[in-house]
Structure 1
Amino acid sequence: MGFLEERDLSEVPTIPEYYKGKTIFITGGSGFIGKVLIEKLLYSCSELDRIYLLMRNKKGVKSEDRLAQLYATPCFDRLKKKRPGVFDSKVFIVSGDVLEPGLGLSQEDRALLVNRVNVIFHVAASVRFDDTLKYAAQMNLRGTMQVMELAKEVRDLTAVVHVSTSYSNTNRDPIEEVLYPPLADWRETLAVCESADEHTMRVLTPKYLGELPNTYTFTKQLAEHVVAEYKGQLPIVIVRPSIVISSVEEPMPGWIENFNGPVGIFVACGKGIMRTIHTKPDIICDFIPVDICAKNIIAGAWIRGTKPLEPTDDIEIYNCCSGNLNNMLMGDLVDMSKHVSKEIPLDDMLWHTGGTITTNPVYHYIKVLVQHLLPAILVDTLLWLIGKKPMLVKIQRRIYIANLALGYYLTQQWTFDNTNFVHLRSVLKHSDEKQFYYDLETTDLVEYFTKCCLGGRKFLLKEKDEDIPKARAHCKRMMILDQTIQVVFHAVLFWWICMKLVQLFGIQSNLF
């Protein structure tokens, strides 16, 4: 448990008191976790001094316009209503890039951060499973190193939170809240990535990854060791979220801006375009709502930042995941997806809601050809004939590629130990519990995933709630069509079998 276990927290300030007057620097602020983190800080710790966001320059786009684009997302609707003006007065951009030397900061901006910042949240990362090792290493290794080097220069630093992933050590089970030995030397890896040509890197990548499934997991594991080298020098905690999905309550129920996790399954099943999923029904799904993740990150900085740094201090690690707090099996998730998709159908569904789990990879591939690709070709042919743009084969290709990328995670089980994660919430001050206590055990999963579906409908597909009755009517028509075709198909199959039997017996009677 580290230093958290031994402390007397009776005189420690509350979380809003800790953040009062502090200046915060955030990388990855325009991402899914980053937005919710910014919103929660401004909403619940409004007396913080200011937040600096590291953002890349965009040609022809002013920093004020980029901030306006960020603030225009629905994530900040609550803030606009209840804390008007706080974003405009406290959030600023510093131009830079995690991929560039020195984070691409100008001398003036670097001096500004060094002299003013008190808390650093390093959230930026390459999260794609199919990124080249060269790019993932530059983003996740060099980027993390650059942030740590900046942190060393900051004059009044109280906390640094490095956001990693629960899946950074998938070659182990169980996965505890400890720093495991790395599979490679991060400096050597970075040097090879920056000097080798593309062909050499393609050859070397499988050798480097070893037991790990992709460049994301591999480089995130090594990035933890970049951070670990500053143990005792910087006040660091590491937060490892699992698959981050829709919010439970904040900034609104069901807030989402990507198709990760169950929302992607809901949408694909709800549109009627996913009929088979390669996974195992008894695998436990480990998802973490984005607002719970943000609370854990904020509380992690608070518990670290309220203790003076000592050279002997360890780096506290939090597996920010559901663990055994509120489990759901993959089979139950797929069944719930089909149920919720019928209750809250999506607009213009192409076929009736469906989707079954297939454990055998060969059988799954056959079902993809028959149930995904062939119908997609037929639909695209019809669209082409009536003068519309074909699109279903392209969508099915994306689903198939996504399933391949996720296959490693959908067919294996890990046990995540989240003792520190649970313990941290238990030491929150009583006055902080309403705003920062994260509870997974009492969450009604059916109600939660219904909100996830509504959020996916609204925020991802831009569909309106008032169109749900119309979508339900269309869903019923698709169900009738689906059942009719199944009846016709089985009737034709039965007739064909009967005719074959008649022919067979006819031949045999002639022989006698």
Structure 2
Amino acid sequence: MLVSAADRSFFYPPTKPSSLGICFSKVSANVDPKINAFTRRNHQTHSFFTSCCHKQPPVPVDPRYRHAGIGILDFFQGKNILVIGATGLLGKAVVEKLLRSTSVGKIYLLIKAKSKEAAFDRLQSEIISSELFSCLKEKHGTSYVAFLREKLIPIVGDIRKPNMGMDSESIDEVRKYVHVIIQSAASTTFHERYDLLVNSNVIAPQRVIRFAKTCNKLLLFTHVSTAYVNERKEEEIVFEEPLSMGGNDGGVDVADEISLLLKSSPNINEATNYFKMLGQERAKTLGWSTTYQLSKAMGEMVVNEIRGDVPLLIMRPSIIESCYNEPLPGWIQGMRMCDPVIQCYGKGLLPAFCANPEAPLDIIPVDLVANTMIAAIAKHGNIYMRQPHVYHVASSHSNPITIFDLFDYQHEYFKGTHTHLTSERIHIPKVRLFDNFDEFSKYTREEMWERCRDGEDGKRIREYNAKVEYVEQLCKLYEFATFFKARFHTGNTNKLTEEMSKEEQLNFQVDVKNINWKKYLEEIHIPGLIKYVING
């Protein structure tokens, strides 16, 4: 089943769909009374989430009475944080930075596990033993494990399940003590089944925001989205604004999309292909390149629409890659978007690529994303926000790197004495870039045949076909980024930098203009990718 009975009643109470308030119109400062009624109906279906603890907004703090700068250290001192997605790349970086650089209180980690013992095992293997935490380990020495076990509280849960998969004891504790919720969990497979992506990236976040509305001390809800929810924008500059929503103005009617899934009944043997094709069709029809981007856009809409008066911070990073400065330059977890291309080129399997050479490739190191999120939370956590604040954490506007630069820096790295990704040393020429797929495909097939034709037996031919197909699929998969001409404006992040004290700017580096892309790729990212992922 796609959703549980409780979740089904969330989208389909016994009234006609037009009364839900979730057939989105443009965001208004005035809350539609239909939405209030809709929200009350929703609470009745969840035994643990029965009250809203945000009747009165917190008293704003006058900035004149703050310490110098934003007051990051002051804000986080003793604050308790719930992190959802803490074992992922960004979530792990945020947890490490909070523990290393602030006097944070408890950090509750929602961990997908079958039992408390299994959750502790994941905490040990994926966080405490992670190389990312080596600086923290060096700082605390023999008390390192004790420090982390005292600070980090693993909770068995799964946001794809009712009540977020938590038991009543965990729910009561989090509701009572948590000040900030960071929701960074998501399914990131671009063309996953539509039903699975909607469950993970749309329905699951609305469970979390419903829970947030019952937390007694909550100051801020932080939702991690992606800058590419704005892909449909035709402007040269995409600004940090909430999405335009609704079926009547070119937006997305989320209720209709859910209804479409609920009415789907493919043959069980054909379900995977059916839902993958359905997702690609819906994304293309509604203006996105991938099902993932569509689902993340809908997730933003749902969270913003049903949050009530919960203060909302939306973080939209672009393409997250390895650490630039801290705690370990080059540290990365898993293959990110640029990395299959780098690996393929380093193995001599990428003679050409289909892309606009001058298009900005909007990549951002994970430590800058973590720092920006932490600084933004500190800034907005003490001042009540009636409207959500959106932050693009991106590079294309302030310090762009192009597709051409990426391939040029790759070539500089692999042409020298550096480690190759093959068992034998080979000559790796520069990649030829084409903006026409047919021309790219013709050239690639000819070049790959030259490299594979020695011993033209069946095995070689199969190898040739597989390599060509893989390269072509890479180009198709990343087309949304390699031909995307718009740049993501980062005015809110720039303003954040200006408001930070010099000490905060040094300890929580967020300014993308300080990145040297040639140094980052040749000396930090590619070596880190080889060390932590390819060889690791």
- Quickly name the TM-score band, shorter chain normalised: 0.7 to 0.9
Specify which structure has the higher proportion of helix. Answer: 1
Q: In terms of Rg, which structure is larger?
A: 1
Secondary structure of 2:137's partner? Answer: helix
CA distance 1:383–1:92, change in 2 (3 Å): farther
Q: Distance in 2 between matches of 1:380 and 1:163?
A: 50
Unaligned stretches of 5+ residues in structure 1: 385-389, 464-512
Offset at 1:432?
1.9
In 1, the alpha carbon distance for the partners of 2:211 and 2:476 equals 38
Matched, 1:73 2:130: yes
Q: Distance in 2 between matches of 1:95 and 1:423?
A: 38
Cα distance in 1 between the residues matched to 2:64 and 2:371:
19
- The 8 Å contact of residues 169 and 175 in structure 1, kept in 2 or not, is answered as yes
Q: Aligned pair in 2 of structure 1 residues 22, 280: CA closer, same or farther (>3 Å)?
A: same
Summarize the alignment of residues 216-235 of structure 1 with structure 2, pairs less than 5 Å apart.
216-230=292-306, 233-235=309-311
Cα 1:44–1:397, aligned 2, differ >3 Å: closer, same or farther? Answer: farther
RMSD: 2.8
The equivalent of 2:238 in structure 1 is 175
Cα gap change, 1:258 to 1:273, in 2 (>3 Å): same
Given that residues 125 and 139 in structure 1 are in contact (C-alpha distance below 8 angstroms), is that contact kept between their aligned partners in structure 2? yes
Answer whether contact 1:265 1:334 (CA < 8 A) is retained. Answer: no
The alignment status of 1:117 with 2:161, answered yes or no, reads no
**Who is 2:258 aligned against?**
190
In the TM superposition, residue 267 of structure 1 has moved relative to its aligned partner by 2.4
Instruction: For residue 148 of structure 1, report the CA deviation from its aligned partner.
Output: 0.1
Per-residue Cα deviation, 1:134-172 (whole angstroms, up to 9, x for no partner): 111111111110110110011000111100111002110
CA offsets, 1:113-152, max 9 Å, x none? 1111111100001111111211111111111101101100
1:15 match: 72
User: Cα gap change, 1:406/1:21 in structure 2, threshold over 3 Å: closer, same or farther?
Assistant: same
Q: 1:187 offset after TM fit, Å?
A: 3.1
- Alignment correspondent of 2:432: 356
Equivalent-residue separation in structure 2 for 1:122 and 1:380 (angstroms): 53
Whether 2:407 is the aligned partner of 1:334: answer yes
- Report the CA distance between 1:10 and its aligned residue: 4.5
- Percent sequence identity over aligned pairs: 23
User: 1:184-263, aligned counterparts within 5 Å?
Assistant: 184-198=252-266, 202-203=277-278, 206-207=281-282, 209-230=285-306, 233-263=309-339
Once residues 190 and 64 of structure 2 are traced to their aligned partners in structure 1, the CA distance between those partners, rounded to angstroms, is 41
Q: Alpha-carbon deviation of 1:69?
A: 1.1
Partner of residue 53, structure 1: 109
Q: In the TM superposition, what is the alpha-carbon distance from 1:296 to its structure 2 partner?
A: 1.0
Shift in alpha-carbon separation, 1:232–1:380, aligned structure 2, 3 A: farther
Q: Which residue of 2 aligns with 1:300?
A: 376
Return the alpha-carbon distance in structure 1 between the equivalents of residues 450 and 263 of structure 2.
45
One-letter amino acid of the counterpart of residue 14, structure 1: G
Matched residue of 1:153: which SS? coil
Structure 1 residues 43, 393: CA separation in 2 closer, same or farther (over 3 Å shift)?
A: farther
Q: Distance in 2 between matches of 1:44 and 1:381?
A: 59
Deviation at 1:393, TM superposition (A): 6.5
1:278 aligns with 2:335: no
Corresponding residue of 2:187: 126
Query: In the alignment, what sits opposite 2:225?
Result: 164
1:422-473 alpha-carbon deviations (Å, 9 max, x no partner): 111211234322211312223222211121111011111227xxxxxxxxxx
Q: Which of residues 419, 424, 428 in structure 2 aligns to 1:345?
A: 419
Q: Is the 8 A contact 1:373 1:396 kept in 2?
A: no
Residue in 2 aligned with 1:401?
473
Stretches (4+) displaced over 6 A:
379-384, 390-393
Pair 1:414-2:490 in alignment: no
Kindly provide the CA deviation profile for residues 345-377 of structure 1, in whole angstroms up to 9, marking residues without a partner as x: 324356422322122200111233233467458
Change in 2 beyond 3 A, CA 1:299/1:379? farther
Contact 2:229 2:296 in 1 (8 A): yes
Amino acid at match of 2:403: M
**CA 1:230–1:421 in structure 2 vs 1: closer, same or farther (change >3 Å)?**
farther
Match of 2:531 in 1: 458
Between the aligned partners of 1:114 and 1:402, the Cα distance in structure 2 is 44
Count of aligned residue pairs for this structure pair: 451
Q: Superposition pairs for residues 454-493 of structure 1, below 5 Å?
A: 454-462=527-535
Structure 2 counterpart of 1:139, which letter?
S
Provide the secondary structure at the position in 2 that maps to 1:319: strand
Distance 1:452 1:281 in 2: 21
| Matching residue's letter, 1:417 | H
Separation in structure 2 between the aligned mates of residue 206 and residue 77 of structure 1, nearest angstrom: 45
The one-letter code of the counterpart of 2:530 is R
Greater alpha carbon shift after TM alignment, 151-160 vs 95-104: 95-104
- Matched-pair contact (CA < 8 Å) for 1:137–1:193: no
Counterpart residue type for residue 373 of structure 2 = I
SS in 1 for 2:478: helix
Structure 2 vs 1, CA of residues 104 and 417 (structure 1 numbering), >3 Å: closer, same or farther?
same
The 1:42–1:363 alpha-carbon spacing in structure 2 relative to 1, beyond 3 Å, is same
Aligned to 1:470: none
TM-score normalised by length of structure 2: 0.78
Determine helix, strand or coil for the equivalent of 1:62: helix
- Output the amino acid matched with 1:147: V
SS at 2:134's partner residue? helix
**Aligned with 1:154: secondary structure?**
coil
* Counterpart-to-counterpart distance in 1, 2:412 and 2:253: 48
Q: Distance in 1 between matches of 2:305 and 2:421?
A: 52
- 1:266–1:338 contact (8 Å) kept in structure 2: no
1:484 — aligned with what?
none
Give, in whole Å, the separation in 1 of the partners of 2:472 and 2:438.
Answer: 14
With 162-171 and 340-349 compared, the bigger mean Cα shift is at 340-349
1:266 aligns to what? 342
> How does the TM-score come out when normalised to structure 1?
0.81
Partners of 2:108 and 2:455 lie apart in 1 by 49
Change (3 A) 1:204 1:238: closer
Q: Aligned with 1:65: secondary structure?
A: helix
8 Å Cα contact 2:371/2:509 also seen in 1: yes
Aligned to 1:27: 84
1:70-109: CA deviation from partner (whole Å, max 9, x where unpaired): 1222212222112323322211211111211221111121
Change (3 A) 1:393 1:109: farther
Structure 2 vs 1, CA of residues 378 and 97 (structure 1 numbering), >3 Å: closer, same or farther?
A: farther
Q: Which moved more, 1:142-151 or 1:344-353?
A: 344-353
Assess, with a 3 A threshold, how the Cα gap between structure 1 residues 440 and 203 changes in structure 2: closer, same or farther.
closer
Distance in 2, matches of 1:374 and 1:102, equals 58
Unmatched tracts of structure 2, length 5 or more? 1-28, 30-60, 246-250
* Alignment partner of 1:443 is 2:520: no
Match of 1:469 in 2: none
